[in-house]
């Protein structure tokens, strides 16, 4: 994890330095004296390796520096203000994706080659094919503008969260449905399922207690990439729905060339992604007791 984070921080730093323009570039060019003073104040006149090591030190203490465009605010202030909103939206989207994805996958597997199976897979294909920003626009048009069931945008109540969360959840929900379906079909053909049926266990008990537990392993493995997709996908969704989350600050910082915000948010989300991968590995072992980590080797 630390090696991955070091590589991400290094790549982010050098890519930002290689990008054309600078944090003080604008349509109305600053006088050279003022720009020189700003570069000196923020250390941009130092050699590149000095800037790099200074940035590594600041990241090690979780100090991402000041924002160049948000006056009087640091990157840490923007993260502490915007991340709770993005976290709530992301968690709601993840719960929607897991709930409806698993439900569609289980129904599709239990009703294999029937109309329920075909309907669920059509929904899954649509979810995979349609990008989240197109889905967001369609949801706004249908449910907000035409049917007037939900607000078009902003972030004021639960009703304001449903459409952006659904737009974020559409693609991962489709992937989860397909994963659950294929895994359930494989599990339902195993010998222990036939044994459970021979013992006279009810279908709900067999499905929930025996089949779903083992079928969830691929879904759990997908939670790590799912978290990354939800978080990065929220950048555009937050902009479309006018949600004051961290993604909105990130998109704005790109247009404003706010280097510290871009790098700070990238590093912050990288930390979250690496942590989510670790949590997924732990959950994987808890769900399947046959998987144990001992001495760095995986044993049954």
- What is the number of residues in the chain? 300
Residues 6 or more apart in contact with residue 291 via CB below 8 angstroms: 284, 285, 298, 300
Q: What's the pTM?
A: 0.75
Tell me, what's the pLDDT at 26?
59
Residues 6 or more apart in contact with residue 147 via CB below 8 angstroms: none
Query: Shortest CA distance to 250 belongs to which of 91, 127, 85?
Result: 85
Q: 292: which strand partners?
A: 299
Query: Shortest CA distance to 75 belongs to which of 83, 285, 18, 175?
Result: 83
Q: What is the mean pLDDT of residues 128-145?
A: 88
**Comparison of pLDDT for 109 and 281, the residue scoring more:** 109
Least confident of 172-186, 222-236, 237-251, 279-293: 279-293
Domains of the chain from N-terminus onward: 2-60 (no CATH), 80-299 (1.10.3720.10)
Question: 187 by DSSP, 3-state: which?
Answer: helix
28-32, 166-170, 197-201, 296-300, range with greatest mean pLDDT: 166-170
């Amino acid at each position: 994890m630390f090696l991955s984070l070091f590589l991400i921080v290094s790549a982010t730093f050098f890519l930002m330095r290689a990008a054309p323009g600078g944090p003080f570039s604008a349509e109305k060019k600053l006088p050279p004296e003022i720009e020189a003073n700003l570069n000196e104040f923020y250390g941009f006149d130092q050699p590149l390796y000095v800037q790099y090591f200074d940035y590594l030190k600041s990241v090690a203490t979780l100090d991402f520096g000041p924002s160049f465009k948000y006056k009087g605010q640091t990157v840490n202030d923007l993260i502490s203000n915007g991340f709770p909103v993005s976290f709530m939206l992301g968690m709601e989207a993840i719960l929607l994706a897991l709930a409806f994805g698993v439900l569609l996958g289980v129904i599709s597997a239990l009703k294999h080659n029937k109309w329920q199976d075909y309907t669920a897979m059509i929904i899954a294909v649509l979810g995979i094919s349609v990008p989240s920003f197109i889905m967001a626009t369609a949801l706004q048009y249908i449910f907000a503008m035409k049917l007037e069931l939900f607000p078009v945008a902003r972030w004021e109540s639960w009703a304001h969260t449903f459409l952006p969360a659904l737009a974020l959840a559409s693609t991962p929900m489709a992937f989860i449905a397909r994963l659950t379906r294929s895994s359930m079909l494989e599990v339902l053909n195993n010998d222990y399922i036939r044994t459970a049926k021979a013992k006279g266990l009810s279908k709900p008990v067999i499905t929930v207690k025996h089949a779903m537990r083992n079928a969830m392993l691929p879904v759990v493995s997908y939670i790590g990439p799912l978290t990354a997709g939800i978080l990065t996908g929220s950048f555009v969704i937050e902009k479309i729905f006018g949600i004051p989350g961290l993604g909105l600050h990130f998109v704005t910082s790109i247009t404003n060339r706010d280097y510290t915000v871009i790098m700070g948010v990238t590093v912050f989300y990288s930390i979250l992604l690496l942590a989510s991968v670790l949590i997924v590995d732990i959950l994987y072992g808890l769900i399947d007791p046959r998987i144990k980590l001992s001495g760095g080797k995986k044993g049954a």
